Chains A and B, each alone.
Chain A
Amino acid sequence: MPEVTSIKKSTEFDLSKEEYSYWGVVWNRFRRHRMAVFGLVILTIIVLFSIITPLISHYEFDTMSLEDRFSPPSSQFLLGTDELGRDVLVRLAYGGRVSLFVAIVASISSLIIGAIIGGISGFFGGWLDNFLMRLVDVLLSIPTFPLLMILAMYFGGSLWNIILIFAILGWMGESRLIRGYFLSIKETEFVEAAFAIGASSRRIIFRHIMPNTLAVLLVSVTLSVGGVILFEAALSYLGLGIQPPTPSWGNMLQRSMEYILGAPTKGGGPPWWLTFYPGLMIFLTALSVNFLGDGLRDALDPRMKM
Chain B
Amino acid sequence: MPEYDYLVDVRNLKTFFYTEDGVVPAVDRVSLRIKSGETLGVVGESGCGKSVTSLSIMRLIQEPPGKILEGEIFFKGENLLLKPEEEMRKIRGGDIAMIFQEPMTSLNPVYTVGDQVSEAIILHQGLSKKDAIDKVVQMFKLVGISDAERRVNSYPHQLSGGMRQRVMIAMALSCSPDLLIADEPTTALDVTIQAQILELMKELKGRLGMAIILVTHNLGVVAEMAQNIMVMYAGKVVEYASARDIFKTPQHPYSYGLLYSVPRLDRGKSKEPLLTIEGIVPNPYNMPPGCRFHPRCKFRMDICDKEEPPLTAIENSERSVACWLFIRRGKQDFLSEGVI
Contacts and interface: CB of A to CB of B under 8 A. Distances in A.
Is chain B found bound to chain A in the same assembly? yes
Interface of A: 1-4, 6-10, 12-14, 305
A6 B295 contact: no
Interface string B278-291: 01111111101000
B282 A12 contact: yes
Nearest to B101: A2
Main secondary structure on B side of the interface with A: loop
B66 to A, nearest CB: 7
A134 B282 CA distance: 48
A305 B17 CA distance: 17
B47 A6 contact: yes
A4 B280 contact: no
B286 to A, nearest CB: 5
A14 B49 CA distance: 21
Contacts of B279: 12
Contacts of B49: 3
A28 to B, nearest CB: 11
Contacts of B281: 7, 10
B117 to A, nearest CB: 24
B276 interface: no
Contacts of A6: 46-47
B55 A1 contact: yes
A13 B284 contact: no
B52 interface: yes
Main secondary structure on A side of the interface with B: loop
B223 to A, nearest CB: 23
Nearest to B48: A3
B283 A1 contact: no
B174 interface: no
A2 B284 CA distance: 13
Given A3-B26, A7-B284, A10-B283, 13 more contacts: A1-B52, A1-B61, A3-B46, A4-B47, A6-B47, A7-B283, A8-B280, A9-B285, A10-B281, A12-B280, A12-B282, A12-B295, A14-B286
A279 B52 CA distance: 53
Given A1-B52, A3-B47, A4-B52, A9 B66 contact: no
Interface residues of B, number: 24
A35 to B, nearest CB: 16
B31 interface: no
B26 A4 contact: yes
A152 B51 CA distance: 61
Most chain-A CB neighbours within 10 Å: which of B26, B50, B283?
Answer: B283
B62 A1 contact: yes
Contacts of B55: 1
Nearest to B287: A13
B47 A12 contact: no
B258 interface: no
Interface string B237-255: 0000000000000000000
A10 B288 CA distance: 11
B52 A14 contact: no
A7 B47 contact: yes
A31 to B, nearest CB: 13
A164 to B, nearest CB: 44
Interface string B17-56: 1001000101000000000000000000011011110010
Contacts of A2: 51
B283 A12 contact: yes
B24 A4 contact: yes
Contacts of B46: 3, 6-7
B284 A1 contact: no
B283 A4 contact: no
21 contacts: A1-B51, A1-B52, A1-B55, A1-B61, A1-B66, A3-B52, A4-B24, A4-B26, A4-B52, A4-B284, A7-B46, A7-B47, A7-B281, A8-B280, A9-B285, A10-B281, A12-B279, A12-B280, A12-B282, A12-B295, A14-B283
A12 B294 CA distance: 13
A56 B210 CA distance: 84
B51 A10 contact: no
Given A1-B17, A4-B52, A13 B47 contact: no
B17 A4 contact: yes
Contacts of A13: 282-283, 286, 288
A305 B46 CA distance: 23
Contacts of A7: 46-47, 281, 283-284
